[in-house]
Amino acid sequence: MDIVKALAKEFALKETHAANIVQLIGEGNTIPFIARYRKEMTGSCDDQVLRQFSDRLEYLNNLEKRKEEIRVSLNDQEKMTPELEAAIGGAETLARLEDIYRPYRPKRRTRAGIAREKGLEPLARLIMAQDLKEGDIWQLVLPYVSEEKGLPTAQEVLAGAKDIIAEDMADDAALREVLRQLFWSTGRIVCKNTGDPAAPEGAVYSQYFDYEEPAVKLPSHRILAINRGEKEGFLKVNLAVDEELVRFRMEEAWITGESIMASIIKDAAWDSFKRLIQPSLEREMRGELTDKAAGQAIKNFGLNLNHLLLQPPLKDKVVIGFDPAYRTGCKLAVVDATGKVLDTAIIYPTPPQKRIAEAKEVLRDLIFRYKADVIAIGNGTASKESELFVAELIGEISRPVSYAIVNEAGASVYSASSLAAKEFPQFDVTLRSAASIARRLQDPLAELVKIDPKSIGVGQYQHDMPEKELEKALSGVVENCVNQVGVDLNTASPSLLTYVAGLSATVAENLVAFRENEGAFRSRRQLLKVPKLGPKAFQQCAGFLRIPGADGVLDNTAVHPESYEAAEKLLSLFHFSVFDVGRKELLSLPEQIRRQGEEKVAAAIGVGVPTLQDMVAELLQPGRDLRDQLPPPVLRTDILSMEDLKPGMVLDGTVRNVIDFGIFVDIGVHQDGLVHLSQAADRYIKHPSEVAKVGDQVRVTVLAVDPARKRISLSMKKQKE
């Protein structure tokens, strides 16, 4: 297989671009670097396409490796033929390749193997020849009866021959492919309840207690729900197929005409299907369904995570992190605009203590002493009572202060980590959590990278996902977000730096140590003095690291050091200098380039057009943050309770999570409401992500409220007047 040609066709790329991507990946370049700084070589593929390309390249390389292993095995067995070689070479999937190899693969001891050991192979071949149109089959069987060989009766002899025929059928690659297609076209997932239908712990699976659906129509979330119900022992799940059609296909493939052997072959065929083929293909098909569902769930998780990480920061604000609790008190952490913790406190405004007056005094003092602008309240236990307390205090004081509800998923994981202990050695776990909540509001990306992405809580069934694939996908999302935004070289934590292209955890630690010992970086070239940060790592990371106030203004842009000379040529070509970067005088540059022609200008400075376009954008807005273009976080001063909600009310909310069957929206009542897929848009959509993403500000209508079950049904459809 020509891997480059296959990839070019699959991803609709020019072969030269596909070949370049294969080469760039092979040379150890990171996906963010390739996506941002090698656009001319890739046809401007974005990071998502490049990651898919990389995964597919790995699969095809593994396929070719497996082909070579099979060739070696067949040659060692002296069973390789030109036909087999052609079939192996033409196999496009691992499943098809294993089907071809199946008859030659070393087997454990089977019923057919035992029959062969007893010398029944010739009889099986004689039966399969189907030459006898009349006569007595038992006359062929009797010569094989032998007490010595463990074949005391003709019936046992015939049973052994059937076992051989059944295994041969199961090993028939062409037949397996026919049946595989039949499974996909007619297969139905059938679920039955395996326990007490009234058992409360199984109620979540009640819709599947007597349920069936064509396998190909099962949506991803339903597949995962059924799998979990089966794993937890509440469901028995089978794959039902059209058995009459199976019989027809098998007999069509193996019975050549009328003979006295036909009934024997039919029996062997059905045994082959029920005992050998069906269990194998059912496992394979359910495995593929699960892989597909997991892939969709991981993709959805990654999409939500991407939007969450790219939420706009709350810049230049002093924030008080408020970690709610009951018995142990609410923990407070005052964090300045740079993320430094200035003060901490513990107050008891919630039950059982309810020391409200005392708590107000402490919080009021912190607000005025540190000129706090916002209170970030975690959305966990006691959040509602804490929100009521904060909203009441805000109404009583003269300083303009607002509050925001912050999703604290994963905060406890971070607080108990060695990273948090190193960052805040003087604080206990709960005070670390309060500081993290404040920082999440100030800069979601910088704070959330400290937490395992799986703990952030913007997916579904994440605990059922294949660990390796989930971790790889989510790490890729975090890496992409970090490099898209860029990182301040002089303030970034080791956690954030670890996600910068080309930097390992060790190098990130070395970089921070260098910064602490030598002082703030003044130039990107200083990176080469950091221990273990060599030329290759510098090439990969330099463009993503920013230095506000650097000696050279280009060091605070996404222009790569390899293109500094080209950038200076560009400025000079139109009678500007680096001192004009970011100034309004440079705003005429795009129009001047357009008049002269992009291709001509790009050629004059020695870069491609995509690099020229990126360069101009950076020169116009050095140090820009793409997140600043997004709507800011929702800040509140008042409060709404679940009891205040009535059907028909129209509210503004923030999207917290987007999953296969709907959208969870925070409308300020502590309990997120659900916009079901059917209520997400006035038009038909396949997935909620088509109309909403995490962090979006949306307008919703209350459809129903169930306080007892803590359920709120919402709609994003336009309501009729």
> Model confidence at 419, in pLDDT bands (50, 70, 90)?
confident
Q: Is the pLDDT of residue 672 over 90?
A: no
| Residue 378 · residue 411 · CB < 8 Å | yes
What single DSSP character describes residue 146? B
The reported pLDDT for the residue numbered 200 is 67
474 membership: H or E segment, kind and range: helix 467-485
Asked, for residue 459, whether it belongs to a domain, the answer is no
For residue 186, the domain's CATH number is 1.10.3500.10
Asked, for residue 335, whether it belongs to a domain, the answer is yes
| 287 and 366 inside one domain | no
**What's the mean pLDDT in 204-221?**
91
Q: What is the pLDDT of residues 523-582, one digit of tens each?
A: 999 999 999 999 999 999 999 999 999 999 999 999 999 999 999 999 999 999 999 999
413 membership: H or E segment, kind and range: helix 411-415
Q: What is the pLDDT of residues 259-274, one digit of tens each?
A: 889 999 999 999 999 9
The reported pLDDT for the residue numbered 720 is 65
**What's the mean pLDDT in 598-609?**
96
> Model confidence at 48, in pLDDT bands (50, 70, 90)?
very high
Average pLDDT, the chain: 92
The reported pLDDT for the residue numbered 366 is 97
Range of the domain at 679: 642-715
The residue count of the chain comes to: 721
Q: Is the pLDDT of residue 515 over 90?
A: yes
Tokens at residue 205, please?
A: 């699976």
For residue 519, the domain's CATH number is 1.10.150.310
Q: What angle do CA 325, 327, 330 make, to 5 degrees?
A: 35
For residue 369, the domain's CATH number is 3.30.420.140
Q: How many Å apart are CA 412 and CA 156, to the nearest integer?
A: 66
- Closest alpha carbon to 459 in 475, 470, 448, 469: 470
Asked, for residue 261, whether it belongs to a domain, the answer is yes
| Residue 335 · residue 439 · CB < 8 Å | yes
Tokens at residue 144, please?
A: 């094989």
Asked, for residue 480, whether it belongs to a domain, the answer is no
| 268 and 208 inside one domain | yes
Asked, for residue 460, whether it belongs to a domain, the answer is no
Q: Is the pLDDT of residue 205 over 90?
A: no
**What's the mean pLDDT in 383-388?**
88
The reported pLDDT for the residue numbered 405 is 87
| Residue 166 · residue 275 · CB < 8 Å | yes
Q: Is the pLDDT of residue 457 over 80?
A: no
SS3 315: coil
Q: Which residue has the tokens 């769930």?
A: 297
Which residues, at least 6 apart from 72, have a Cβ–Cβ distance to it below 8 Å? none
Helices and strands, number each (H, E), in the chain: 30, 15
Q: What is the pLDDT of residues 88-118, one digit of tens each?
A: 999 999 989 999 999 998 888 899 999 999 9
| 270 and 200 inside one domain | yes
**What's the mean pLDDT in 615-632?**
86
| 190 and 335 inside one domain | no
Residue 197 is which amino acid?
A: P
| 197 and 128 inside one domain | yes
Tokens at residue 15, please?
A: 């072969």
Tokens at residue 631, please?
A: 């709507």
Q: Is the dihedral of CA 11, 15, 19, 21 positive or negative?
A: negative
SS3 656: strand
**What's the mean pLDDT in 294-321?**
91
| 623 and 649 inside one domain | no
606: left (phi over 0), alpha (psi -120 to 50) or beta: left
| 617 and 649 inside one domain | no
Question: pTM for this one?
Answer: 0.82
Q: What is the pLDDT of residues 328-340, one digit of tens each?
A: 999 999 999 989 9
Asked, for residue 309, whether it belongs to a domain, the answer is no
Sheet holding 330-335, edge to edge: 341-347, 330-335, 319-323, 374-378, 402-406
For residue 659, the domain's CATH number is 2.40.50.140
The reported pLDDT for the residue numbered 639 is 63
Q: Which residue has the tokens 């076209």?
A: 185
Pairing of strands 374-378, 319-323: parallel
Q: Is the pLDDT of residue 719 over 80?
A: no
Q: What is the pLDDT of residues 272-285, one digit of tens each?
A: 999 999 999 999 99
- Closest alpha carbon to 325 in 356, 346, 341: 346
| 348 and 383 inside one domain | yes
| 82 and 179 inside one domain | no
Find residue 658's DSSP bridge partners: 663
Asked, for residue 369, whether it belongs to a domain, the answer is yes
**What's the mean pLDDT in 394-408?**
91
The reported pLDDT for the residue numbered 637 is 66
Q: How many Å apart are CA 219 and CA 593, to the nearest integer?
A: 50
Q: What is the pLDDT of residues 55-86, one digit of tens each?
A: 999 999 999 999 999 999 999 999 999 999 99
Which range has the top average pLDDT, 426-435, 511-520, 667-676?
511-520
Q: Please identify, among 385, 416, 442, the residue that sits at the C-terminal boundary of a domain.
A: 442
Burial call 52-80: b when 16+ CB within 10 Å, e when fewer: ebbeebeebeebeebbeebbeebeeeeeb
| Residue 566 · residue 602 · CB < 8 Å | no
CB atoms within 10 A of CB 612: 22
Q: Is the pLDDT of residue 355 over 90?
A: yes
Q: What share of the chain is helix, strand, coil (3-state, %, to 5)?
A: 55, 10, 30
| 145 and 225 inside one domain | yes
CB atoms within 10 A of CB 576: 19
Q: What is the pLDDT of residues 624-654, one digit of tens each?
A: 888 887 777 777 666 667 778 889 888 888 8
> Model confidence at 721, in pLDDT bands (50, 70, 90)?
low
Q: Is the pLDDT of residue 407 over 70?
A: yes
**What's the mean pLDDT in 364-379?**
95
| 90 and 145 inside one domain | no
**What's the mean pLDDT in 455-482?**
86
What single DSSP character describes residue 330? E
Q: Please identify, among 629, 651, 672, the residue that sits at the C-terminal boundary of a domain.
A: 629
Q: Which residue has the tokens 């890729």?
A: 476
Asked, for residue 524, whether it belongs to a domain, the answer is yes
Tokens at residue 395, please?
A: 């109404």
- Closest alpha carbon to 272 in 301, 290, 295, 247: 247
What single DSSP character describes residue 710? T
Burial call 152-186: b when 16+ CB within 10 Å, e when fewer: eebebbbbbbbbbbbbbbbbbbebbebbbebbbeb
- Closest alpha carbon to 52 in 340, 552, 473, 398: 473
The reported pLDDT for the residue numbered 203 is 78
Tokens at residue 30, please?
A: 């990171």
If one counts the domains in the chain, the total is 5
Q: Which residue has the tokens 């050629």?
A: 603
Q: Please identify, among 582, 606, 629, the residue that sits at the C-terminal boundary of a domain.
A: 629
Q: Is the pLDDT of residue 326 over 90?
A: yes
* Burial class of residue 103 in the structure, from the number of CB atoms within 10 Å of its CB (0-12 exposed, 13-18 middle, 19+ buried): middle
Tokens at residue 412, please?
A: 């406890």
| 100 and 118 inside one domain | no
**What's the mean pLDDT in 607-614?**
96
Q: What is the pLDDT of residues 122-175, one digit of tens each?
A: 999 999 998 877 778 888 899 999 999 999 999 999 999 999 999 999 999 999
341 membership: H or E segment, kind and range: strand 341-347
